[in-house]
Amino acid sequence: MTVARLNLLPVLVALSASILGCGPNYGGRQEVKGTIKLKGQPLDQGVIDFTPLEAQPTKGGALISKGSYSIPRQSGLMKGKYRVIITSGDGRTRENSDEPPGPTGANIISKERIPADYNVNSKQEIEVAEKKANVFDYDIP
């Protein structure tokens, strides 16, 4: 009986490890997600970009849809500080109205809706950490 129990021990250890989660660590990458509002309303569409401020090897970004964005862990960011840039064109107005529209008459580059403080002159910074939820929400005036 003791031999049979000893043979069962490795099987139980392996089963326990798989159930308890020896899952992939994705090289230390972390999931990053959040919500974005513009003038109190969920931002319908846009892009959020995270640029490293330290020596992290990751730069990332995500599409914003219906006020939310998400970067899954497998393509996430390494821990550290990042500058945040948010962009969202209005889809109607040419950035430079003195220039003619594109060949189809459609706008090639539309006017930016996001204030410069969250965009070209952004001073918005986040810090991605291990072992905590990396949720970063923005309410842009």
pTM comes to: 0.73
Predicted confidence (pLDDT) at residue 99 exceeds the cutoff of 90: no
Higher pLDDT, 95 or 133: 133
What are the tens digits of pLDDT across the range 33-58? 999 999 999 999 999 999 999 988 88
Question: In the chain, what percentage of residues exceed pLDDT 70?
Answer: 72
Domain ranges of the chain: 26-140
What are the tens digits of pLDDT across the range 55-98? 888 899 999 999 999 999 999 999 999 999 999 998 776 555 56
Fold of 26-140: Immunoglobulin-like (2.60.40)
Average pLDDT, the chain: 83
Contacts of 42 (CB under 8 A, 6+ apart): 35, 36, 66, 67, 68
